[in-house]
Amino acid sequence: MNELQLKYGCNPNQKPSKIYMADGSELPIQVLNGKPGYINFLDAFNGWQLVKELKEAQEPQNAALRELLGKELDKEHARLVAKGHASPSEKAALERLYKAYHGLGGNGTRTALYEDVLQMNSYPTP
């Protein structure tokens, strides 16, 4: 679809507007339900801008939190390796920590540490 008719308002005497790509290519949108109006697209574009600005503002905070979580994963891994085992509750706690780290875009280095702990015995071996 390279053109979409938009209703301008609810009055039958108002002429519809349309959106299209200046180069004639396909529109980068898909209407899922109903017939969109001009005001719907203004709302969507303004909402997109707000989300974009929020994401940019949060990135430094996410980077700092990712670094702190990564250091905590390193520290916990070293503690459990020194101990020689990880109880089910310790593994669960490490999993929550790892998921938070990974959800913020953490890399695979800490994934190896996480998987290492999951492979550990749950209880001390005699």
Would the CA dihedral through 74, 79, 82, 88 be positive or negative? negative
| Residue 36 confidence (pLDDT) above 90 | no
Tell whether 68 is covered by a domain: yes
Q: Is residue 43 part of a domain?
A: no
The structure's pTM equals 0.63
* pLDDT category of residue 35 using cuts at 50, 70 and 90: confident
Asked whether residue 7 is domain-assigned, the answer is no
Is residue 11 a part of any domain in this protein? Answer: no
Residue in the structure block whose two tokens are 């800490």:
110
With respect to residue 73, please indicate whether it lies within any of the assigned structural domains.
yes
- pLDDT band for 38, please (50, 70, 90 cuts): confident
Looking up tokens 């979580």, which residue turns up? 69
Q: Provide the pLDDT for residue 43.
A: 92
pLDDT digits (tens, 9 = 90+) for 61-115: 999 999 999 999 999 999 999 999 999 999 999 999 999 999 999 888 899 999 9
What pLDDT is stored for residue 1 in this prediction?
A: 75
Q: In this structure, is residue 89 part of a structural domain?
A: yes
Judge whether 48 lies within some domain. no
Residue 17 lies in a domain: no
Q: How many domains does the chain have?
A: 1
pLDDT at 86: 96
